[in-house]
Amino acid sequence: MSKERPLSLITGASAGIGAAFARALAARGHDLVLTARRTDRLQALADDLQREHGTRCTVLTADLADPHAVEQLCQTLDQQDLHVDWLINNAGYGVPGRFDANDWQVHADFIRVLMTAPTELAWRLIHGMRKRGYGRIVNVASLAGHVPGSAGHTLYAASKAYLIKFSQSLALENLETGVNVSALCPGFTRSEFHDVTGTRPLVSKMPGFMWQNAEDVVEEGIRAVERGEAVHVTGRFNRTVKGLFKLMPDKLALRISAKQSRRYRAQE
């Protein structure tokens, strides 16, 4: 890198894994571009990081469901002469219920936020990374992308599987460029995610050993992308689950998924 302080762009930075990435990278000496829909939370986080680490934080409020949001975001970066070294594609959420129980616009927004926006951000920013000979892209996927889909939250696992395959291909294309790409695949993580989707009463029944803290997930993710690991599943338990499902016949895996869906997915 040609500068002492890398610049990291984090989407969905207002809470959960996104906020944990902001804190971890600020502690490592990064300046930050924080984006999400909730300006007040972003600004509060920016103020904390400025006070604790001297981090220069640029707050850019954006709704990634807007088809023009990514282009406008990158135009603002160019206007402010901000060159992104680390891209953390973290923004995401779940849509509870059956596929046909939601309006199409709900699904269209979901696809744009979880698939289209991270892909477009990577495309718009990777040119500069390659030119400078350094970059890191972390696409926050999920263990759900490695196991059979569930009944309810119909597009969630599909979107995460897409991010995994996209990350693998992008990593291979950039092996000799100084740009590392990694899909980070956590399992159950303590955050607001399940409160927003209304599944907290369901998932709270899951045993404690199945859960990780956002800070631990982020630490694994940073180490993985620095190593050039194209896909990283966090936590020993989650890696075991991935391995077991990989060995199972599809029929058995789907049967188990159907049973588990009733425990932690809102299906109506």
- CATH number for 157: 3.40.50.720
Q: How far apart are the first and last CA of the chain?
A: 50
Residue 141 is assigned to a structural domain of this protein = yes
Cβ atoms 88, 65 nearer than 8 A: no
Give me the catalytic one of 134, 156, 162, 264. 156
Residue 232 is assigned to a structural domain of this protein = yes
Residue 213 is assigned to a structural domain of this protein = yes
Residue 208 is classified by DSSP as: G
In this predicted model, what pLDDT tens digit does every residue of 74-104 receive, in sequence order?
Answer: 999 999 999 999 999 999 999 999 999 999 9
Cβ atoms 147, 239 nearer than 8 A: no
| Amino acid in the structure at residue 70 | V
Mark 170-206 as b/e (b = at least 16 C-beta within 10 Å). bbeebeeeebbbbbbbbbbbebebbeebebeebbeee
Q: Is 156 a catalytic residue?
A: yes
In this predicted model, what pLDDT tens digit does every residue of 149-202 receive, in sequence order?
Answer: 988 999 999 999 999 999 999 999 999 999 999 999 999 887 655 445 445 455
pTM: 0.90
Residue 97 is classified by DSSP as: S
Angle between helices 117-132 and 156-173 (to 10 degrees): 20
Residue 2 is assigned to a structural domain of this protein = no
Nearest partner of 183 among 215, 214, 220, 135, judged by Cα: 220
Check residue 54 and give its pLDDT: 97
Cβ atoms 10, 32 nearer than 8 A: yes
Residue 151 is classified by DSSP as: S
| Amino acid in the structure at residue 86 | W
Site of tokens 């991270």: 118
In this predicted model, what pLDDT tens digit does every residue of 122-135 receive, in sequence order?
Answer: 999 999 999 999 99
Residue 59 is assigned to a structural domain of this protein = yes
Domain membership of residue 217 as a residue range:
7-264
> Hey, what's the torsion of the CAs at 54, 55, 61, 66, to 10 degrees?
180
Cα separation of 116 and 68, whole Å? 11
Residue 54 is assigned to a structural domain of this protein = yes
